[in-house]
Amino acid sequence: MIQSLEGVHSENETGKGVGSYQLVYSEGRWWIANMVWAMSSDDGKDIPKKYLKNN
């Protein structure tokens, strides 16, 4: 699963990025097997539109 994100860090600056989550269903429940996220270096302009929440 890939999704976009927007947040504010401790110095009150906003940032946009994408996160990827790998899920595994085992023993009757979902487990997070892997998580990776990366912040945009161009205020979200370098994130493909299909991953943005409001395109």
Residue-wise pLDDT for 40-55, tens only, equals 988 888 988 888 765 4
- Give per-residue pLDDT as tens, 3-28: 888 888 888 888 899 999 999 999 99
- Class of residue 52 by CB neighbours under 10 A (exposed 0-12, middle 13-18, buried 19+): middle
Question: Residue 22, exposed/middle/buried by CB under 10 A (0-12, 13-18, 19+)?
Answer: exposed
pTM for this prediction? 0.63
Instruction: Specify the amino acid at residue 16.
Output: K
Q: Which is more confidently placed, 29 or 15? A: 29
Query: Residue 17 and residue 48: Cα distance in Å, rounded?
Result: 10
